[in-house]
Structure 1
Amino acid sequence: MTLTGPLRILFLAAAIIGISLFHYLTPLHLPALHDIFQRLYYLPIILAALWFGLRGGLAASIIVSILYVPHVLFQWGVHPSLELEKFLEILLYNVVGGVTGFLCQKEGERREELERAARRLEESYRALRSQADLIIGIEEQLRRAERLSALGELSAMLAHEIRNPLGSIRGTAEILRDDFQPGHPKHEFLEILLKETDRLNRVVEDFLRLSRPGDGERKTCDLAAELRELVTLLGSDAAARGVRIGLEADEVPPVTGDPEKLRQAFLNLMLNGIQATGAGGTVTVRVKMFPRSGDDRPLVELAFADTGAGIPRESLERIFTPFFTTKEGGTGLGLAITQRIVEGHGGTVTVESEPGQGTTFRVRLPL
């Protein structure tokens, strides 16, 4: 058990008074006991020096001297030689108290200095780690920007070379389809050709949208109103899959941005949640303020949570990588486009998922 400051003082006072009483109450014809009691004074003196430093050691030795001097003068005064020895012992009390207290005080100051140095090193380490994480994040953004820049140049060349032939193929397929009645094998093949042409055209559009999202028109955007429209729009699709979709929106100030692009980003996340959730599951969209400290602008957080199967841990790090997908028939561009749109508005998008427990995407936008 560790004694507190007041308890230590009481313990030292009791020890000094107790030893003094032993001296005064013990007959002089028992010098051996007096020698023992005389040495016992060192214990409270050294303890006081250890606990309270130089002041504690000197205070204890002076109090011991004051209590011990009357015993020497009035009880041992008839033995001058013994009296001198005991006065020398009193001098030694003060020397031991002062030296021990000085050394303990210096040791305490050294320990405090080392603790301060350790705290400074820990703070420096945290700052360096924070800067390292920031640098790693910036490097990753630069790498992604380089990839998207190369992607933009490539898409500009491919768009013309792919979309014009696609238009010709679709027009030709529509003309040929009219020559065959529904149910004819060639009619079915031409329907497949048209569907695949449309799918390829959507891939090209997503490809262009990812590489060159554009700034768009910036204006005030009511997030809650946009999300209510999307919930209404996707309600029938969710009901057809047996999924319940809900919106929990606090009163939040509007944000400045491109409503069409933000709507596209939110639509991607809500569609992902609906498609990942089985019958009887739910997709919940929550909107609330996200407090920040300091002079940073306040944020609004939009959480898109589903009760689906979740995302495997090995896929979480690649979930926003272009062309990476876990869905059959998916292009792997939806989340990459969403991230590009959100970051273009000065925000961030993160994902939290546990297999079997669903997935939550969090979009944070500055107000």
Structure 2
Amino acid sequence: MKPSRVRILLLALAILGISLVHYVTPLHLHYLHDVFQRLYYLPIIFAALWFGLRGGLVCSLVVSIVYAPHILFQWGGTLTVEMEKYLEILLYNVVGAVTGLLAQREQERAEELRKTAQGLEHSYRKLEEQSERIIAIEEQLRRAERLSTLGEMAAVLAHEVRNPLASLRGSAEILRDDYRPGDAKYEFLDMQIRETERLNRVVEEFLRMARSRPTDLKPCRLREELETIITLTVGEARKRQVALALLPGGDSATVLADGDKLRQAFLNVVINALQATPPGGNVTIAIADNGREVCFSDTGPGIPPEALERIFEPFFTTKQDGTGLGLAVTRKIIEAHGGTLAVESEAGQGTTVVVRLPEPEEVA
């Protein structure tokens, strides 16, 4: 039963009960009648509080109608008594009207405050959403600024570093030929060659960072591109004793992309997954049913939460021989295609990299 119906029933029972005791109480017990007629104010006041002005007036009118026969037929004949009772009826209606009016105004005010609170809450949510968007935009701008700076540095490094590195490596290889493996000088020269190779990889990563903007967008079949990546990395997977598999599905998935750049991004992700997976583990690649997402999953140790927040920062790496530019380059390539790159990982549960690419018409 609805609360309003319960309240009406309670008011009706109260009026009925008070009226019954009025009618059945002997007239010579006038002090009891004085008490009973004051009890009528209780349902009137409650009706006004619950239902406002209309409720107070209706209840006071009902009380007046119920109480009037008691005055006329039981107290009739004494004008002074009758006048007092009639004034009591008038007071019933005054109390009902005043109390109902005040209660109704209070209810209206409470409703206005509730609407104001809802409006403020809605405004707060909008401000919160806008602030989150602003923070995201600021982060994108900071990242773009960092990448722009890296691009300028890459151009300088490519000119100033690569040629001397090539000379150093060539000289070290010539000198190494004069010694045999196991000789201390042979080992030092071999270390020099490896370090120059590592520095050269850093320079190449810088160049990829600067040139990751796709220039030749053509329809590309995702599955064919991923099959190429499998072919390129199957030897590395076999050497690491990791099972590498492309799951069935997505045969017709087509995106508008620069094939070379897209393969570079996919290759970076797969190599990272192979390096993170221990022997006997698995790396799987799957194309989502919508044909727009590619999921790269590994069974490695996962990424700690504190590192997960920084994996896209240039030069941040958890590998001893890493440059910290692979994922930054990969994300820049994907975002340049209008897509997004997300990493989901828990320590001990493996890692999943999700590449989302737009519809061809969204890029066009």
Amino acid at match of 2:157: L
- Following the alignment from structure 2 to structure 1, what is the Cα–Cα distance between the partners of residues 247 and 15? 71
Describe how 1:1-367 pairs up with structure 2 within 5 A.
4-179=3-178, 187-231=186-230, 233-247=232-246, 254-288=254-288, 300-367=292-359
Partner of 2:362: none
**TM-aligned CA deviation for residue 142 of structure 1:** 1.7
Contact 1:224 1:249 in 2 (8 A): no
Deviations 1:304-335 (A, max 9, x none): 34343332333233221100111111110011
Deviates more, 1:340-349 or 1:244-253: 244-253
CA distance, structure 2, for counterparts of residue 242 and residue 255 of structure 1: 32
8 A contact 1:218–1:257 mirrored in 2:
yes
Q: Map Cα deviations across residues 284-310 of structure 1 (whole Å, 9 max, x no partner).
A: 4454368xxxxxxxx944443434333
Tell me the TM-score normalized by structure 1: 0.86
Distance 1:41 1:149, change over 3 A: same
- Residue 249 of structure 1: CA displacement? 6.8
Tell me which moved more, 280-289 or 132-141. Answer: 280-289
More displaced stretch, 256-265 vs 55-64: 256-265
8 Å CA contact retained: 2:214, 2:261: no
Question: CA contact under 8 A between 2:214 and 2:333: conserved in structure 1?
Answer: no
Distance 1:97 1:248 in 2: 78
More moved, 280-289 vs 3-12 = 280-289
Q: 1-side partners of 2:231 and 2:248: how far apart?
A: 15
Separation in structure 2 between the aligned mates of residue 53 and residue 301 of structure 1, nearest angstrom: 60
1:192 positional shift? 3.8
Task: In structure 2, give the amino acid aligned to 1:8.
Answer: R
Query: In the TM superposition, what whole-angstrom CA distance separates every residue of 1:75-115 from its partner, at most 9, and x where no partner exists?
Result: 12133222211211111111111111111111111111111
- Range that drifts further, 335-344 or 258-267: 258-267
Instruction: Assess, with a 3 A threshold, how the Cα gap between structure 1 residues 18 and 302 changes in structure 2: closer, same or farther.
Output: farther
* Residues 110 and 224 (structure 1), Cα distance of their counterparts in 2 relative to 1, 3 Å cut: farther
SS in structure 2 opposite 1:220?
strand
Contact in 2 for aligned 1:257/1:345 (Cα 8 Å): yes
User: How has the CA–CA distance of structure 1 residues 253 and 95 changed in structure 2, closer, same or farther, with 3 Å as cutoff?
Assistant: farther
Deviations 1:172-197 (A, max 9, x none): 34444555566665555544443333
CA RMSD of aligned residues (A): 2.8
1:295 match: none
Structure 1 SS opposite 2:288? strand
Whichever residue aligns with residue 54 of structure 2, its letter is R
Give TM-score scaled by structure 2 length: 0.87
Q: Partner of 1:366: helix, strand, or coil?
A: coil
CA distance in structure 1 between the partners assigned to 2:221 and 2:212 by the alignment: 21
Contact 2:234 2:244 in 1 (8 A): yes
Partners of 1:108 and 1:220 lie apart in 2 by 65
**Total equivalences in the alignment:** 358
Measured after TM superposition, the shift of residue 158 of structure 1 is 1.5
Deviations 1:339-364 (A, max 9, x none): 21122122232333333333333333
Q: SS at 1:314's partner residue?
A: helix
CA distance in 1, matches of 2:39, 2:350: 71
Look up the SS of the partner of 2:214 in the other structure: coil
Deviation track 1:138-188 (CA, whole Å, cap 9, x = no partner) reads: 222222222222222222111011111222233334444555566665555
Q: Gaps (5+ residues) in structure 2? A: 360-364
Structure 1 gaps of 5+ residues are: 291-298
Which residue type is aligned with residue 156 of structure 1?
A
Contact 1:268 1:338 in 2 (8 A): yes
Residues 130 and 170 (structure 1), Cα distance of their counterparts in 2 relative to 1, 3 Å cut: same
* Structure 1 residue 211, shift from structure 2 partner: 2.7
Which amino acid in structure 2 is aligned with residue 366 of structure 1? Answer: P
How many angstroms does 1:20 deviate by? 1.8
Structure 1 distance, partners of 2:2, 2:29, is 35
Q: Using the alignment, how far apart are the partners of 1:95 and 1:282 within structure 2?
A: 85
In 1: Cα distance, 2:226 partner to 2:97 partner: 76
